[in-house]
Structure formats: structure tokens, C-alpha cells
Structure 1
Amino acid sequence: MQFNFGTDSQVLAVRDLTETKAAQRQIEHLARHDGLTGLPNRTLLQERLEHALALSKRTGEPLALLALDLDRFKAINDIFGHGEGDRILERVAFMLKRCVRGADTVARMGGDEFVILQVGSAQPDGARVLAHRILEIFREEMNPAMDPTAVGISIGVAVFPQDGADAAALHHAADIALYRAKTSGRGVAAFFDAQMDLEARQRRQLESDLRHAITRNQLYLVYQPLVTTVDGKVSGYEALLRWTHPDRGEVPPDEFIPIAEDTGAILPIGDWVLRRACREAALWVEPLTLAVNISAVQFQVATLEETVTSALMDAGLAPDRLELEITETALMKDRDQTIRVLHALKERGVRVVMDDFGTGYSSLSNLQSFPFDKIKIDRSFIQTMEDDEAARSIIRAIVGIGKSLALPVVAEGVETDTQRRMVQEEGCPQAQGFFYGFPGAGPASSAQLSASQANSGLIAGRVASHAGP
């Protein structure tokens, strides 16, 4: 720029980019890190995993990928709120960082899922030592007996190169191993093997088959009697679902019902069970009670009340004969909505039963908050009461609670005469279990009775004709 003074001059514009650069760094950090725990997120983990795999392929050095999932977190989050859930996640992140070395990566994938990338260690021994360290620190610092918000952890481990040749394969193998850990009792570590992959494929096939089980007429109901302990008379029946698979035969309920709940197939299946059970119970000669289990997943559907009402009307079954059995898991999600639905069902005459009582986080408060008509003691207490005085004391306490609240108590899982005598001595008015009867066809219907009477009359007539002069 030239001025009239004849002197050459320059004008410089200076901008302070410190804040801009800091903001850019913050944005870049947030893009690769979890906002709650500060751990690397899925994106950064993937970058580090790809880099580690490339290095391992050149050097031949193995690495391990550990998939971790918190046990009981969802229930605690529902009971104590998201704020407490966030505090637990931050605490878990701190615990996991204490377990690893500097070269390892602890990442949060979302929710209560974490992944650890372990490098620079001999495998699989390195992953085994790390998994043991994690389980130990959780046992020491997360004690449910002392802290109701304590969580556990399950671990699935995959090792490169034997369990997967790329990032996607390693993630898949670690997830399959994690599923094995969670189905093996939780709070354990499982290492991937080929058998797990086969089982995972079989489970996916079972999921697909289960979705078509209703239309293919593969589902059916059996009924287990509920008796009064004083005289052993049957007072009602519980409807239990069974599945006959065309290739596998009878699939255990403990195997297919969790799959149905995980996939959402429990909604059409639960509707089918309710309607079929009501229709069959309406035909029984004696007006006995009918108990039907309702899944926690079904309570998340806004139309449950209408579904129950429709099933009763279509079958012509009196509402006071129907008992809906629910576990505390169903009460943890949207308590206000659940209370409203239960009260609405009670107003229609339907009875509500708390199933598996004594195993949840807040059984006593739930008895106060929800309109229950009956409580069923979890079978685990009944099965151990012969040798465990503590279990018998718990049963005695539950019966006392039931009496004080005017709620009948059912002892579930009675299998021996000793157990029958004990639950009767403790004052349980009702009981259920193999000792009283195995699940079967249920009581006779009016149509069966009429057919039996007609058949008896026909036989009697034939005998009389042959006995003539």
C-alpha cells in the first residue's frame, strides 16, 4: 500500500485462533470418545483395532478382543433411575481402566456394553489373566449384599488370528463368547470356540422357526394343578406353553421363551396363549381358576388391557377365574403405566399374582405399590428348604407378610412329601409342583364329560342286550 508520504507500509490483520483450535480439538475428541465416561467410543476403537490388526499381521503378534456386558444393570437403571445408572457406568469405566495396561484400549460401545483391545501380550494367557483380574475387582468392589446398585460383569473373549481374520470376525466371535458367558450363569468369562459358532447359528435358526410356530400348529398348552395344602384338593390350573419342533422334537421352555422375549415373538405367542387358555378353561366342567403368565415384554404394549378383555369376552370366561402371573421384571419398566393397567384389569375382575416372589430387588415395596391378589414363593426357596434353615426362615417370613396383607401365598415347586409337609407347617395355604401333579391335559371339559357319559350309556346298553333272556 502506497501513502502520499512516500514511505512503503504494510497493514497486518491478526486473529487469535486459540479458541477455534481448542474447539476443533474438542469436537475431534467428542467424535472419538464417549461423552459420559470419557472412554474411546466405537469409532476410535475401530481405528485402533484396524491398526493393531495390520501390525499383528506383519509381526505375527497375537491380540485379544474382550466384549463385556454388565449384569443386572437394566434392572438397576429402571429401579433407581438414569442418574444412578450413569454413576454406575462411570464407576465401571474407572474400574476397567485400572485393570488394563497403557497400550490396551477400554472402549464403551453404548449402553452397558464395553470392549477391551489387548495388545502386546501372549495369547490366550494374557486375555485369561486380564479377564480374571476384572472379575476379581468386580467381586471385591461390587457386592449386591452390601450395595443394591452393585452390578456384575460377563466377558466374552476372541483371539487373533485363530478366532477371526479381521475386525468384524473378531467382534462377532467375542459377542458369541459373551452370549455363552451370560447363559452360563453370568459373572464369568468365556473364550470363543467353533462349537459356540455352531450353537449361535442353531439359535438363529430356532429364532426363525419360532416365528412360524403358531401358524404351523406346533405350540400347545399343558396345565399344572394348584392345590390347597389342607386337603390337597385342586383349586385351579396354571397354563404352561410347550413347543414341538418338527426336527428337534420337544424344545424346553427355558430355551425358547427367552428367545421369544429377546426377538419380540413373545407378543403374538403370548396373545395366542392367553386366548387359547381362556377358551379351553371356559369349557371345564368345574369353574376352577386359570393362571396365565404375562411377560414383561407384553406389559410394554399399550393394548394389554384390551387384549385380556377381548380374550375373556371371546371365550366367555368369567374374569374372576383368570389369574395373571407377573414377575417383578414386568414392574420395573414404566411403573406408572403398569400400575394403571393392573388396576384397570382388577376393576374388570381379573386377579393379579406376583410370581417368583423373594428374588427381586424391591419385593416389599412392590407389594405395597401394586394391586396383587396373591404371591407365589420362588421355587428356589422350596427346593432348598429341607437342608437350608435360612430358606425355610424366608418362607416363614413371606407367609407372615402374606397374612398381614391378606394375600394368599403359594409354594411353587413342591416335589417331595417332606417339602409338602414343611410348606403346610409354615402355613402356606396353596401349593404347586410335581408332587401334586405333572403338567398335563388339564381337567375334563363339558364336551368330554358328555361324550364319556354317552359312551358309558352305549356300553351299558350293549351289556344289557347281551344279558337278555
Structure 2
Amino acid sequence: MDKEGLPDLPVAQFLRLRRHIPPLYGVLAVNAAALAYTHRHVAPLYLTVVVASVLVLACLQRIYAWTRPIDPAAITGDQARAIMRRTTVLGITMTLVFLVWALALDQYGTAAQQGHVMLFIAATLLGCIFCLTYLPQAAVAISVLAIGMFTLYCVKQGSEERLSIACSTGLITILILFVVRDCFASFVSLEESRSALIIGQRRAERLEAESARLARIDALTQLPNRRRFFEELEALLREATSQTRFSIGLLDLDGFKPVNDTHGHAQGDRLLAMIGDRLVALCKAHEPGVSVARLGGDEFGFIIQAEIDEACDFMQGVCRVVQEPVPLDGMQIAVGASGGVAAYPLSGSDANKLFDRADFALYHAKRHQRGHCVKFSHLFEQLIRADQLVESALQTADLAQEIALVFQPIYDIQSKAAVCVEALARWTSPVAGPVPPETLVAAAEKLGILRVVTLALFDRAIAACAQLPAHLRVSFNLSAGDLANPETVDAILDAMTSSGQPGRRFIFEITETALISSFATAVREIDRLRASGAKIALDDFGTGFSSFNSLQELPLDILKIDKTFTGRIEDPAGRRVVRGILSLAHSMSLECVIEGVETEGQLEAARELGFRYGQGYCLARPAALAEIDARIA
């Protein structure tokens, strides 16, 4: 066999000869027996019985040798060449022996019996040539030997008839050898074409297999990709029994985007590759088995052969390892990681459901327990059903009737005068009941109707603006989905223009989460809103990891300090933090609003620190427009 696993040409020759050589020796044996039989009464016994029997037995032995079972795949090219060399030598030897024997018989008998000898020589020679088509060198050697000896014998006998027979036999032999040569050349060409075709097919199969492998491998980390992850998960589920227990875990990096923004995507890719190496090492060290895949971006998936508690412990360890600094070009770069785990069959019995449950747990970890792993529980199942109920209700909701705004004033806490009202969305569904604003936004975004909801709320905000005193601004919240959709911003600007309300009457509040998906797009849309005369406020400042970066790069006018800092304003340490944020805002010429002022003590502390604007239950609770209007008046 060659390196492609295909038979060499000598092997192919040998395999063809295995089919042709036995008939050749069969013909020789039969013809020899017939010749001996016709000369039994005229030739000596040793020629017709002893020699003839030896020759027939020799033919039978060769038939047995060539018909013994063999494994064609085990024959090498060298072995085939050796066999054919021996076949050529043996063929010449057998030809010589048979010819000498036949010519010895020619000395006896009648003209008819001598004619039988001539026929035996000619017929046997031609039969040998045809049977040796796939060993042309042997056919030529045998032909030259037989025709040469036969011609010399005829010349010696001095018989013109015999010499004519010898010449005719020689001419026919030459003609047949030309045919044999062409047949063998066609055989060689066919074998080469067949080998080339098989080699091409096998190379194509290897390329296809390699392409299939690469289609399941993440090029950056060399980990299995999302497709391979789900194939492995589906295979595991197909083989699952009532006793099968395993978990899937999802891991998402915290703070990876700033690495790309600050150090460049090349460094971000190197960081992902190094984290991938860490994950592989962790999986190899864990018993029972764990497999890891990169699902896309900075998200990784795990299939863990363990119950959910053990799987959660493993994922918690993964979070800790990922959080260890990574050396990149002389720097120590650190990112966080959060995880979610779901178990089979506790959390689901099909791949999509299991993945969704793990993803929900990951989402919860990202929002409430960043840096930790959360396992999916029955409580989460109830939350999912509640979300599904909200989504179903939103699809059939009459937004004109069910959606509304309430307003919470923002005060100048030094003069105690209202300067602005924040519009807060309220949705009371006949099906789902009161729905929190963040749930409404998330459901609308998932269903692809966020633009419809946002514009419906903004229409109400414009209507309220027309009823409020001219000195009051209306603050309106925009989500990440709103800023990512230029058409939504177009519609907001058009609504402001057609309403006749100047842009300076509006403040648009954004959060840092609205900047994560596409910072450049968000900045571009914010610039458009600001160009209308509206102001931009950064809401919930201090809760995001990129707050100071946002302050430097965003076109902002107002900073709203999150209520978590307000809750600690009476504590010395918390007071120092709040004072530092206020100083930062003043240094950047930003107005600063302290949110979540709920007690007189917090209000007094805010005044003492120098805050001018405040918002919270201590000052005013959210209420309908008529109540707020009356309260302000």
C-alpha cells in the first residue's frame, strides 16, 4: 500500500493475475493430459505417464498456490513485485519444460499425432499470452523462448509445412503481444486514474472533516464553539437515563469591555485566549469530567458531570480563578466573572430550556451578585413565568389605556423650590397587574416594541410639559435600546418640534448600562438630543464600573448620585465619598442631584455638604400630574 492507503500498481497487477493464472495452469494441465493420452500407444511410457503426470501435478500445485485465500490489503508493493518476478522465472521454466516434452513426443506417432503436438504448442502459447496480459514482461519472454525454439526445431526438421506453421504462429504471437501491450497500458492508465480519483475523494473527505472540525472550534481560544457545545449537550441528553445527573454553567466576564476600549481589541483577544487556557486547565483538573466552550464574545459555557450544588461550587472557583490578574505586556489586567448554573433534569429536560435557565441565573448574578455564581431555583422559575405573563400581556395591551406617567419633583433644596419633574412610567395590566418600569422596558425590548412604548410615554411627557409651569423642566428616562435606535431618537426630536415645546424644557436621563453595548452610537444620539436644547443627565451615578470614564467622554450636563450613596450620607465614611463625588461634578461644571433623600437627616446632610438639588420621598413622592401641579402651585 502507498501512503494514501491505496494499492500500488504492482499490487493491482498481482490481484488481476490471481484471477488469470489459475485458468492458465488449468488449460496447460488439460492440454498436457490430452496430448499424453493421444500418444499413449506410440510414445514411451515415461513420456506419456511419468513426465505428463509430473507436469499435470505441477500445474495443479500452482493452481492451489494461486487460489489460497489471502488478505489483499496485507500485500505490499515489494511483495507483489517479488511474486511477479518469481512468476516470470517459473513461467519461462515451465515453458521450456513443456516445450521440450511436447517436441519429444513429436518424434513419435502419425502425422495426425504430430499435428496435435503443433496445435498443443501454438494453442498453449497463445493461451499463456492472453492469461499473462497483466504481466507483459513474462508474456514477451515466454513468446520469444517458445517461438524461437519451435522455429529452430522446424528448421532442423526441414519440413516446409512445419516451418510455415511456426512462422504463422510467430506472426500471430507478435500481433497478440501488441494487443496485450495496449491492454496493459489501458490497465495502467485506469489504475492511475482510479488511484487519483480515490486520492482526490479522500483528500476532499479530509478537508470536509477538517472544515467540520474548524466549524466547531473557536478560532481565538481553540475551545469548542457554541455549535459544538450544543451538539455535546444534545448528545448527552439523547443518552440520558432516569439516573443521569449533570449541570450546565454559563460564565460571563465582568469589565471586559473597558479592556477593549482602553488597551485595544488585540489585547482583549489575548486576554480571552489566556483565560481560555485557564479554563481548560481547571476542567482537566476537575473530577468528574467538565467540558468548556466559548459561546461568543466574553461568554463561556460548561457541561459539568455533577449535581447542581457541586457544579455551583466549581463555577464559583472558576469565577475566582478568572478574577486573578493576567500579565499582558508588562501590565497586570484583571477582569471579573459571574456565573449561572442549571441542572438536568431539575431545571429542564431539553437543551434550550437548560441553557435558558442557566442564562437566567447568570443574568441574576450580573445584576445582583456580580462576581459570584448563582444556581437556578424554583424562585427563578416563578420569575420566568411572571416575565412570560408580562410579555404575553404586553403583546395584547392597549397602551393608550393601560400605560401612564407619574411625576416626582426635583427640588432646589436650598430655596425649597421645584425646578424639574421626573416622568416615571407606570403600567397596570388587566392580566399581569402593576408592572415595574424596568420589567416593562425589558419585556418591550425582548418583544421588539420598545420604540412603541417609549414614544407612547414621551407623548404623555410632552402633554404634561404643556400643562406645567414654563420654568419647570420634564426629565424623561431613555434606555439602552432607545439610544441604540436612531429612529427612536428621530421620532423624539420630531415630537418635540411638532409639539412647539422648546428642547430646553426637557432633560433626558441615561444610565451607564445604556452605554455598554455601543458607546459610540450612544454618544452620537446624545449629541443629537443635546443639540435640540435638551440637557443630558447621567442617572444612578456610582453603580457602574466605568463611571469616571463616562464623565470624561460623554456630553453631560447633570450628574444624579445614586440613592445607595445617599443612604450612607450621615455616616462619616459615606459622607466623604458623597463629598468627593460632588467635588468631582463641580470640577467638571456639572449640576449635581442627590437621589433617594428619604429622611430629614439625609436632607440636612445634603444641604450641609453644599448640594443644591435633591430628589426623594422626603421631598415628594411620585404622583399624578394634577396632584404634582397643585402641590407645586
The normalised TM-score by structure 2 is 0.61
Q: Please state how far the C-alpha of 1:212 moved relative to its aligned partner.
A: 4.1
Shift of 1:360: 3.5
Tell me which residue corresponds to 1:150. Answer: 335
Tell me which residue corresponds to 2:311: 127
CA positional deviation for 1:221? 0.6
* Equivalent residue number for residue 588 of structure 2: 405
Q: Is residue 367 from structure 1 mapped to residue 551 from structure 2 by the alignment?
A: yes
Shift, 1:440, TM fit? 0.9
User: Could you list the per-position Cα deviations for residues 5-52 of structure 1 after superposition, in whole angstroms to 9, with x for gaps in the alignment?
Assistant: 936888685879898787555424202222221112234334433444
Answer yes or no: is the 8 Å Cα contact 2:540–2:561 preserved in 1. yes
Structure 2 CA distance for partners of 1:403 and 1:99, relative to 1, 3 Å: same
Which position in structure 2 is the counterpart of 1:320?
A: 504
After superposing the two structures, state which structure 1 stretch, 312-321 or 23-32, moved more: 23-32
- Distance, in Å, in 1 between the alignment partners of 2:535 and 2:352 is 50
Q: 1:284 aligns with which of 442, 456, 468?
A: 468
1:345 matched to 2:345: no
Cα drift, residue 299 of structure 1: 1.2
**AA aligned opposite 1:108:** R
State the percentage of identical aligned residues.
31
2:440 corresponds to 1:440: no
CA offsets per residue over residues 198-225 of structure 1, 9 Å max, x none? 4323312212323444535211111111
Match of 1:89 in 2: 272
Structure 1 residues 28 and 308, CA gap change in structure 2 (3 angstroms):
closer
Match status 1:68 vs 2:251: yes
Shift of 1:63: 2.5
Shift of 1:288: 0.8
Tell me how far apart the structure 2 counterparts of residues 365 and 42 of structure 1 sit (CA, whole Å): 33
Q: Which residue in 2 is equivalent to 1:31? A: 215
Q: Look up the SS of the partner of 1:217 in the other structure.
A: helix
- The amino acid of 1:438's aligned partner reads R
Partner of 1:42: 226
In structure 1, what residue type is equivalent to 2:140?
A: G
In structure 2, distance between residues paired with 1:118 and 1:445:
56
Superposed, 1:212-291 pairs within 5 Å as 212-215=396-399, 217-291=401-475
Q: 1:114 aligns with which of 300, 309, 319?
A: 300
Q: What is the RMSD of the two structures over their aligned residues, measured on CA atoms?
A: 3.6
Residue pair 1:379, 1:411 contacting (<8 A) in 2 also: yes
**Residue 430 of structure 1, CA deviation:** 1.0
Matching residue's letter, 2:505:
R
Post-superposition offset of 1:283: 1.6
Partner of 1:465: none
1:438 CA displacement: 0.4
Could you tell me which residue of structure 2 aligns to residue 6 of structure 1?
Answer: 140
Where does residue 205 of structure 1 map in the other structure?
Answer: 389
Shift of 1:237: 0.8
In structure 2, give the amino acid aligned to 1:352.
I
- Matched to 1:42, the amino acid is R
CA contact (8 A) 1:181 1:187 kept: yes
The 8 Å contact of residues 75 and 332 in structure 1, kept in 2 or not, is answered as no
The letter of the residue matching 2:335 is: A
Q: Deviations for 1:423-449, whole angstroms, at most 9, x for unmatched residues?
A: 222222211111110011246799x99
Cα distance in structure 1, aligned partners of 2:498 and 2:510: 23
Q: 2:575 aligns with which of 392, 395, 408?
A: 392
Rounded Cα–Cα distance in structure 1 between residues aligned with 2:489 and 2:353: 44
Distance 2:383 2:555 in 1: 42
From 87, 100, 105, the counterpart of 2:283 = 100
Change (3 A) 1:156 1:78: farther
Unmatched tracts of structure 1, length 5 or more:
453-469
Moved more, 435-444 or 269-278: 435-444
Counterpart of 2:301, as a letter, is V
Deviations 1:180-215 (A, max 9, x none): 544543433333444533432331221232344453
- What is the rounded CA distance, in whole Å, between the counterparts of 1:90 and 1:148 in structure 2? 13
Alignment partner of 2:401: what SS? coil
Question: Deviation at 1:231?
Answer: 1.6
Counterpart in 2 of 1:425? 608
Separation in 1, partners of 2:572, 2:441: 30
**Partner in structure 2 of residue 329 of structure 1:** 513
Secondary structure of the 1:384 match is coil
Letter in 2 for 1:203: D
Aligned equivalents of 1:338, 1:138: Cα separation in 2: 30
In the other structure, the counterpart of 1:356 is 540
Bigger Cα displacement from structure 2, 223-232 vs 125-134: 125-134
State the shift of 1:83 in Å.
3.7
TM-score with structure 1 setting the length: 0.80
Q: Is the 8 A contact 2:325 2:334 kept in 1?
A: no
- 1:228–1:234 contact (8 Å) kept in structure 2: yes
**Which whole-Å deviations, capped at 9, do the CAs of 1:267-299 have from their partners, x for residues lacking one?**
221112222111111122443111111112111
Shift of the 297–87 alpha-carbon distance from structure 1 to 2, 3 Å rule, reads farther
SS in 2 for 1:399: helix
More displaced stretch, 303-312 vs 18-27? 18-27
1:141 Cα shift? 4.7
Cα distance in 1 between the residues matched to 2:238 and 2:536: 59
- Distance in 2 separating the partners of 1:422 and 1:56: 62
For the structure 1 residues 138 and 207, does the alpha-carbon distance in structure 2 shift closer, same or farther, using more than 3 Å as the test?
same
Between the two proteins, the alignment pairs up a number of residues equal to 442
1:95 partner amino acid:
R
Paired AA for residue 431 in structure 1: G
Residue of structure 1 equivalent to 2:100: none
Structure 2 counterpart of 1:459:
none
1:71–1:154 contact (8 Å) kept in structure 2:
no
Q: 1 CA distance for matches of 2:471 and 2:302? A: 59
Structure 2: gaps spanning 5 or more residues: 1-133, 142-180
Equivalent residue, structure 1, for 2:60: none
Compare the two structures and name the one with the higher helix fraction.
Answer: 2
Q: Give the Å deviation of 1:396.
A: 1.8
Cα 1:165–1:394 shift into 2, 3 Å: closer
The 1:398/1:126 distance shift into structure 2, 3 A limit, reads: closer
- 80-89 or 374-383, larger mean C-alpha shift: 80-89
Q: 1:227 to 1:69 in 2, by over 3 A?
A: same
Structure 2 CA distance, aligned partners of 1:162 and 1:374?
48
Q: 1:54 to 1:330 in 2, by over 3 A?
A: closer
Query: Structure 1 residues 167-176 or 309-318, which shifts more?
Result: 167-176
**Cα–Cα, structure 1 residues 114 and 263, in superposed 2: closer, same or farther, change >3 Å?**
farther
Look up the SS of the partner of 2:303 in the other structure. Answer: strand
Q: Note the C-alpha offset of 1:257.
A: 3.0
| Equivalent residue number for residue 461 of structure 1 | none
Per the alignment, do residues 81 and 218 of structure 1 end up closer, same or farther by CA in structure 2, a change over 3 Å counting?
farther
